[in-house]
Structure 1
Amino acid sequence: MTAELSPARQAVAAAQRIVVKVGSSSLTTAHDGLDTERLSALVDAVAGRVAAGGQVVLVSSGAIAAGLAPLGLRRKPKDLATKQAAASVGQEALARAYAESFTRYGLVAAQVLLTADDVVRRVHYRNAQRTLNRLLGLGAVPVVNENDTVATTEIRFGDNDRLAALVAHLVGADALVLLSDVDALYDGDPRGGGASAITEVNGPADMAGVDAGSTGSSGVGTGGMASKVGAARLACSSGIPVLLTSSRLADSALGAADVGTAFAATGSRMSARRFWLAHAAGATGRLWLDDGAVAAVVDGRRSLLPAGVTAVEGSFDGGDVVELVDPAGVLVARGVVAYDAAELPDLVGRSTHDLPPEQRREVVHADDLVAMRRPVRTA
């Protein structure tokens, strides 16, 4: 690492509000369950950041993995019921361990369990936002985890990387730190030898030819480097710099930020509503647009009118989030639709002036729309 830190590292080191994500492999083992020494070392680093005047939200995986050993399970279960059972045991153990460890520093750990609905549904999203902000204002350390006990789809061991990126934007964090069992991003599998660490990522060009892989090797985590890179890109595209390194280096990561791989922010901050539309909300349908509508929506930042819609897919109600795609089916925007799916076929391709007065409104208003591709710049 060079003596002079990059702007991304300086931003992480100076961040007043920071989200820290730690994976299952950093806190647990497949055979012994929760490792309290590793957890306490992480708490030491977080407490040090708080003592320096920072606010920290900890996104912690490990609930399911922590429940294996107490239930006598020797390997990660495949059926949903057993996964939920392990989560219910492990979540209690994880919360208790964090509470006891933070008590050493006079800090209160606050457990916050989120499900997909809590980031997909706008009202839930705002409630989670208010709760986390209030906890930070009261001096607590929120410990966030996916509520695996009641989640019914895509329960995975420790893949909370995307959740961490969403939480970072939700709380207006100044930086995101991703901690795992690997000390940096490499251009290949470091276990095979010959791979080189990538210390700075300033844009897509720095990732050219990088094989991030897909899964972890610890037996308790599934996020892997690919998941972390995806979360880093999501955060950076929203104006949040990211530092990725090993949990063993948490002190340095939350101190001088002179370890691991730093990802520079590549985009600008979005409002909470626009970010929710772009990255958190679940889409229930698709609207196909002609080229003129694509230009109006993406380049002109204008509302989508019935005349620009060529086809409708899915079952949705007015107020739901839908995807807007170009003639080739490429996603160009997302937005809140003003009509039910059953109403739209009679309006497709028609000029607003040809419609009855009660239907002379936008299909998706510009205020409820976010472009998902960059506008075309003309000289």
Structure 2
Amino acid sequence: MTSDTSDVEVAAPPHRGRIATAQRVVVKVGSSSLTGAGGGRLHRPALDALVDALAARRLTGSQVLLVSSGAIAAGLGPLGLAKRPWELAMQQAAASVGQGALLAAYQDAFARHGLTVGQVLLTADDVTRRSHYTNAKRTFDRLLELGIVPVVNENDTVATQEIRFGDNDRLAALVSHLVGADALVLLTDVDALYDGAPRRAGSRRVPLVATAADLDDIEIGGTGSAVGSGGMLTKVEAASIAGAAGIPTLLTSAEQVVPGLAGADVGTVFAPSATRRASRKLWLAHATTARGRLVIDEGAVRALTHRRTSLLPAGVVAIEGSFGGGDAVDVCGPDGTVVARGLVNYASAELPKLLGRSTRELARAYGPEYEREVIHRDDLVIL
């Protein structure tokens, strides 16, 4: 005899349940999910369907932040381009044309639900310097307090190769940290992570990645669509970044966003890690590009990695590259292994005369402004 369970509500597994009940959720959508078959124009039915799903979640009381690709893709058609350009200046031109069209479409779609959107354009440089990071967090908090749906994108019109996030998957993970999100949802044109090529016969969906070891036997490849910049690898990396802050990630297709947000068994869920890293330190590790390198002695390596001290001039033995004060640099041991990354207090031109000397000695020789760290521990992350 079997019992009738058709009316029994089955609870979602823990990590999917956290996505279903998340009060603050970041959703990222890729360019290929928003553009038509030609890839050069926004596909309004797809965008409207996404907005309908997010608006429904927002109107239940949850706070929703949307990280949206698509600005460059939306600018291709008006510029007469058949595919995403490789040249940075042309990408920036396409983004300049397409960003307005993208935001206007979101404004119109969310307005049908009585919701207002606010555009937030970021570069990596905006959120790795302390005052800018604090300001970005304050802006997001205020928008959410006001009931606004932030629409976030990298500021492609001004970002250079040196200050780019690189892809919006990483940006979405970092924004999740910044705002203290309860869940991250990555929407793409593939419905899940598979243990092989999705179109290969016999490939199976991976419903849960509980630890990094679960990925050891999985082929992760792809460089994104013709209009996007990311691929499956960037999404797995983004899930790892989010997991470092205790945030579960759901990877699925835009078509599965409704059941995905409800905690249904779709896509792939990446469980968060047990240990958490402070948000700003994670931005330093994942959102910055090193402009140079500082080579330090073994004593300084031990001081940084074991005692978590600041980096002082006495421990630096060599400088590589050209950088200014406030830039990100890698900190390397004597064998060249990168042990940390941080925001340096001195320009590369200033440092040679400081190497190997104590801050007290430097203050006597050059003035009290030189009695400071090369990198303060608050601006340093161990890698």
Of the candidates 149, 156, 169, which is equivalent to residue 141 of structure 1?
Answer: 149
What is aligned with 1:363?
A: 374
1: CA distance between counterparts of 2:324 and 2:359? 21
Query: Counterpart in 2 of 1:195?
Result: 203
Q: 2:69 aligns with which of 29, 52, 61?
A: 61
Q: Is the 8 A contact 1:18 1:176 kept in 2?
A: yes
Aligned-residue offset at 1:105: 1.1
- Name the residue aligned to 2:175: 167
| SS across alignment from 1:148 | coil
Is 2:111 aligned against 1:98? no
Structure 2 unaligned blocks of 5 or more: 1-9
Paired residue for 1:108, among 94, 106, 116? 116
Please say which of residues 223-232 and 260-269 is displaced more in the overlay. 260-269
Equivalence for 1:301: 308
Change (3 A) 1:316 1:150: closer
How far, CA to CA, are the matches of 2:277 and 2:179 in structure 1? 12
Q: CA deviation at 1:294?
A: 1.6
1:334 has 2:323 as partner: no
Question: Do the aligned residues in 1 keep the contact of 2:11 with 2:17 (CA within 8 Å)?
Answer: no
Q: What is the SS of the residue equivalent to 2:115?
A: coil
Distance change in 2, residues 1:353/1:104 (3 Å): closer
Match of 1:11 in 2: 18
- What is the DSSP-based 3-state SS (H/G/I as helix, E as strand, rest coil) of the residue aligned with 2:199? helix
Residue 187 of structure 1, CA deviation: 1.8
Give the corresponding residue for 2:238.
Answer: 231
Q: Deviations over 1:304-349 (max 9, x none)?
A: 2334323222233444432211223222112233444344334434
Within 5 Å, give how 1:284-323 maps onto structure 2: 284-323=291-330
Unmatched segments (≥5 aa) in structure 1: 373-379
Q: Is the 8 A contact 2:24 2:63 kept in 1?
A: yes
Aligned residue in 2 for 1:376: none
- Cα displacement (A) at 1:355: 5.7
User: CA 1:112–1:306 in structure 2 vs 1: closer, same or farther (change >3 Å)?
Assistant: closer
Identity fraction in percent: 61
Give a deviation string over 1:51-90, Cα, whole Å, max 9, x none: 2211011001111212223444333334445433332332
How many residue pairs get aligned? The number is 368
For residues 337 and 187 of structure 2, the distance between their equivalents in structure 1, rounded to whole angstroms, comes to 34
CA offsets per residue over residues 144-201 of structure 1, 9 Å max, x none? 1122333444999x94111111211122211111000111111221112222221111
Distance 1:155 1:212, change over 3 A: farther
Output one character per residue of 1:189-232: Cα deviation in whole Å (capped at 9) or x when no partner. 1112222221111222011022211313x422231111111111
Distance 1:12 1:62 in 2: 25
> Which aligned segments of 4 or more residues in structure 1 are displaced greater than 6 angstroms?
none
What is the CA distance between 1:252 and its match in structure 2?
Answer: 1.4
| 2:77 pairs with 1:77 | no
Pair 1:240-2:247 in alignment: yes
Match of 1:21 among 6, 24, 28: 28
Distance (whole Å) between structure 2 residues aligned to residue 98 and residue 224 of structure 1: 24
Answering whether residue 41 of structure 2 is matched by residue 41 of structure 1, we say: no
Which string of whole-angstrom CA distances, capped at 9 and with x for unpartnered residues, describes residues 78-124 of structure 1?
A: 44454333323322221111111111211112222223432344433
**TM-score of the aligned structures, taking structure 2 as reference length:** 0.86
